[in-house]
Chains A and B, each alone.
Chain A
Amino acid sequence: DSGVTQTPKHLITATGQRVTLRCSPRSGDLSVYWYQQSLDQGLQFLIQYYNGEERAKGNILERFSAQQFPDLHSELNLSSLELGDSALYFCASSITSGSTDTQYFGPGTRLTVL
Chain B
Amino acid sequence: GEDVEQSLFLSVREGDSSVINCTYTDSSSTYLYWYKQEPGAGLQLLTYIFSNMDMKQDQRLTVLLNKKDKHLSLRIADTQTGDSAIYFCAEGVTGGGNKLTFGTGTQLKVEL
Contact (Cβ within 8 A) B98 A99: yes
**Which of A42, A45, A104 is close to B99, meaning CB atoms less than 8 Å apart?**
A45
For B35, the chain A residues whose CB sits under 8 A away are: 105
Chain A residue at minimum C-beta to C-beta distance from B92: A99
The docked-state distance in angstroms from the alpha carbon of A58 to that of B97 is 10
Q: Mark B86-110, 1 if CB is under 8 A from A, else 0.
A: 0010101110111111111100000
Chain B residues at the A interface, C-beta cutoff of 8 Å: 30-31, 33, 35, 41-45, 48, 50, 88, 90, 92-94, 96-105
Main secondary structure of the interface of A (DSSP, over half): strand
For B31, the chain A residues whose CB sits under 8 A away are: 99-100, 102
For A102, the chain B residues whose CB sits under 8 A away are: 31, 33, 45, 48
Within 8 A of B (CB), among A3-47: 31, 33, 35, 42-45
Chain B residue at minimum C-beta to C-beta distance from A97: B98
Number of chain A residues close to chain B: CB under 8 A = 28
**Which of B44, B98, B105 is close to A31, meaning CB atoms less than 8 Å apart?**
B98
Known: A42-B102, A45-B100. A105 touches B30 (CB 8 A): no
Contact (Cβ within 8 A) A106 B42: yes
Say whether A2 faces chain B, with CB atoms less than 8 Å apart: yes
The docked-state distance in angstroms from the alpha carbon of A97 to that of B95 is 11
For A98, the chain B residues whose CB sits under 8 A away are: 98
The docked-state distance in angstroms from the alpha carbon of A102 to that of B90 is 11
For B33, the chain A residues whose CB sits under 8 A away are: 102
Contact (Cβ within 8 A) A97 B97: yes
**Which of B99, B103, B105 is close to A33, meaning CB atoms less than 8 Å apart?**
B99
For B105, the chain A residues whose CB sits under 8 A away are: 42-43
Say whether A56 faces chain B, with CB atoms less than 8 Å apart: yes
